[in-house]
Amino acid sequence: MKSVIVTGATGAIGNALIEFLKNAGMDINVVVRKGSSRNSGILSDKNIKVIECGLENIKTIKDSVGKCDVFFHLGWADTDKEGRNSAEKQRKNIDYTLAAVEAASSVGCTVFVGAGSQAEYGRYNVPICEDFALKPETEYGRAKAEACVKSRELCLKTGIRHVWTRIFSVYGPHDAESTLIMYLIKTLLKDEKPALSACTQTWDYLYSADCARALFLLAEKGINGEVYNIGGGECRKLIEYVKILRDVINPKAQLGLGEVKTPPEGLMNLCADISKLKRDTGFMPQLNFEDGIKETIKWVKGV
């Protein structure tokens, strides 16, 4: 692996992957949506080649990219709450994923790594394995599951090794403002009390740099046609994570536990079984939650 293409590079996972690839000495081509407010850091980085192109036009990148080895497809449109429940919008993402496979083939890629989601599984109260039945509750989860199957079929036809990931909760620098971790950090740094649910559900967190390393290892060692969970593999009550974060910022800060009502469908538990990822790639998370939070806080503060 010498040359790669990355879509969806402006979020927590994408930024971490770019940093990992740079440190690994890769030639990096990044596809970004023109005019996105999140492009500034990538556009100013002289170590990567930037192609400003929307996912709807992804097949045109062959005119801007030379021979490449691996295509990391992290890009996915309409991930806000409204978009996640729109069948029409999410079906477009299936088309974009298939177009990404065609783009990968057109520039000679031999590996396609797709970023799926734990949302493909639906609700389980035990650590989730890759062979669990898929019971997605959102159009987003249904589209991810269908994109997995259809992109695998297309990769088979085009002779590309296909690796699909189901990513659980990842946090770190460049994370979205809407995530619990970012909400907690920014609220507590302002000496305000965060409004929370009871936080009694089981959860699984992975630092973004560890997620990036898992993606890289899967590009190298992932078995063709297989699905891999990417997560921390450690299940704790959400309140434990919340208190660790609180204690890093201010152990005396108050938490508004129970101020957010539990939804009618109940609290969502989330825990990844990453045995398969460990077995096939040797992956192990390197940064514990407390240290990952400290790094994330530094980024928020601009330190």
Q: Which domains does the chain have, with CATH numbers?
A: 3-169+205-230 (3.40.50.720), 172-204+234-271+282-301 (3.90.25.10)
Confidence bin at 43 (pLDDT 50/70/90)? low
Of the listed ranges 9-13, 117-121, 212-216, the one predicted with least confidence: 9-13
pTM: 0.95
Each residue's pLDDT tens digit, 59-83: 999 999 999 999 999 999 999 889 9
Looking at residue 275, its pLDDT comes to: 98
3-state secondary structure the chain: CCEEEEECCCCHHHHHHHHHHHHCCCEEEEEECCCCCCCHHHHCCCCEEEEECCHHHHHHHHHCCCCCCEEEECCCCCCCHHHHCCHHHHHHHHHHHHHHHHHHHHCCCCEEEEEEEHHHCCCCCCCECCCCCCCCCCHHHHHHHHHHHHHHHHHHHHCCEEEEEEECEEECCCCCCCCHHHHHHHHHHCCCCCECCCCCCEECEEEHHHHHHHHHHHHHHCCCCEEEEECCCCCEEHHHHHHHHHHHHCCCCCCECCCCCCCCCCCCCCCECCHHHHHHHCCCCCCCHHHHHHHHHHHHHCC
Looking at residue 263, its pLDDT comes to: 85
Q: For residue 91, is pLDDT > 90?
A: yes
Looking at residue 162, its pLDDT comes to: 99
Confidence bin at 265 (pLDDT 50/70/90)? confident
Looking at residue 36, its pLDDT comes to: 66
Each residue's pLDDT tens digit, 185-217: 999 999 999 999 999 999 999 999 999 999 999
Looking at residue 201, its pLDDT comes to: 96
Q: For residue 106, is pLDDT > 80?
A: yes
Looking at residue 39, its pLDDT comes to: 58
Each residue's pLDDT tens digit, 150-164: 999 999 999 999 999
Looking at residue 267, its pLDDT comes to: 81
Max avg pLDDT among 35-44, 264-273, 277-286: 277-286
Confidence bin at 47 (pLDDT 50/70/90)? confident
Confidence bin at 266 (pLDDT 50/70/90)? confident
Q: For residue 34, is pLDDT > 90?
A: no
